[in-house]
Amino acid sequence: MEEIVDSNYGEEKVLTIVLADDHEIVRAGIKRMLSINKSIKVLDEAANGAACVEIIKYHKPDIALVDILMPIMNGIDATRIIKAECPDTAVIMLTAFEDYLHIEQALNAGANGYLSKDISAKDLIEAIFHVFDGERVFSKSILKLLKKKFPESVVDATPVVVSKREQEILNLVALGKTSGDIANELFISVRTVESHRYNLMQKLNVKNAAGLARYAMINQTMYKRDPE
């Protein structure tokens, strides 16, 4: 396999990974995919959610690739604990489940991405680097599912004028930031953030905060820009 190198990352920074999947052959396959990039190092593996949590608390890796259906503790419950106890570790769900219920549960647990297991090595490695940069990532099939369930979240042809500040807030909403997080990052009050969010909801014709988050997520993610 040809080595994939991200030009933004030198050898001085190696991204550390923990894998969690109850199938050894799957973990072996993922490790082989990741081995083509020398800026990624798999530190450890877990065969269940409980072990995944303990291993991540020990290693504190940059990224955790976590399956959903695992014994003892499922990946969503594990993600919730990881994000609470190791907030600097980004969690990407890497799973065969492509249904809205599991996607919603994963995002509510704090997952930074949701990828299908049929993803290519190139796309997986790119996704890892994007998540490390603070973005959320989703497979194209996942985005199609979200667009089908929530068609109001898809950009239509009607031009919408969004201010620079509103765009900043929309981008941070896409990253899963709360109003408090956004206020701290932009050095403005929570009330000002809420005011901008309300204006965005009116402009983008979404009904509530969840709709705004879906809009931001679907229309800001890198996978939306992939060719069909």
Asked if residue 136 has pLDDT above 70, the reply is: yes
Q: State the pLDDT at residue 171.
A: 80
Q: State the pLDDT at residue 219.
A: 65
Q: What's the DSSP call for residue 161?
A: -
Radius of gyration for the alpha carbons in the chain, expressed in angstroms and rounded: 18
Question: CA–CA distance from 141 to each of 19, 114, 115, 125, 226 (Å)?
Answer: 22, 10, 9, 17, 11
Residue 136 φ then ψ, to 5°: -100, 145
Asked if residue 122 has pLDDT above 50, the reply is: yes
Please provide the average confidence, as pLDDT, over all residues in the chain.
Answer: 83
Using DSSP's 3-state secondary structure scheme, residue 140 falls into helix
Q: Please choose, from the candidates 65, 51, 68, the residue with its C-alpha nearest in 3D space to the C-alpha of residue 17.
A: 65
Asked if residue 92 has pLDDT above 70, the reply is: yes
Q: How confident is the model at residue 158 (pLDDT cuts 50, 70, 90)?
A: very low
pTM over 0.85: no
Joined together, the tokens standing for residue 166 give 């509103």
Name all domains of the chain by residue range, CATH numbers in brackets. Answer: 15-148 (3.40.50.2300), 152-225 (1.10.10.10)
